[in-house]
Amino acid sequence: MDEKKIAQSDVGTMLYAKGADNKYSELIEIISAPAESTAGGTIEVTVLKSPTKQYIPDRVDVPEQDFGYNYTEANREKANTVCDGSVHEFLVKFQDGSGYTITGTAQTWTNEIGRGQAVEGTLHIVATDIDWKTSTEVTALLAE
């Protein structure tokens, strides 16, 4: 009997960056990933004779991308390799092999620290483009 997959977990989610050699390699091990996109906005265009409000779609937003990671000096150094003010390409890969690419500039910092908590960092990407990819497309990107 062919079982249909009804969901997947976070296990196996990875963040890659495209290097100078044009190949994607794992950037840092992440502990959280942001939503890929957001709902598009709306513009109200209701005319006075209409008994209900009317809307048209607004521009789609390319949301900022914040990835959490466990802070270590080594992880911070890895994150810093893409925090040079240049545009970089990133790839998020999910457990099933699908994912999305992100084009943008990055910053990193250490998050607030509290008693009894792991020290975490954030890799913040100001995205200019986000593009969802099938598992076949992701595999092709990683093979390049």
The reported pTM is 0.86
Determine the Cα–Cα distance for residues 134 and 100; give it in Å rounded to an integer: 8
Name the band, by pLDDT with cuts 50, 70 and 90, for residue 109: very high
SS3 readout for the chain: CCCCCCCCCCCCCEEEEECCCCCEEEEECCCECCCCCCCCCEEECCCCCCCCCCEEECCCCCCCEEEEEECCHHHHHHHHCCCCCCCEEEEEECCCCCEEEEEEEEEEEECCCCCCCCCEEEEEEEEEEEEEECHHHHHHHHHC
pLDDT digits 0-9 by tens, 22-39: 999 999 999 999 988 888
Q: Which domains does the chain have, with CATH numbers?
A: 14-143 (2.40.30)
Report yes or no: 84 and 104 within 8 Å, Cβ to Cβ: no
Q: Does position 1 have pLDDT exceeding 90, yes or no? A: no
Report yes or no: 108 and 122 within 8 Å, Cβ to Cβ: yes
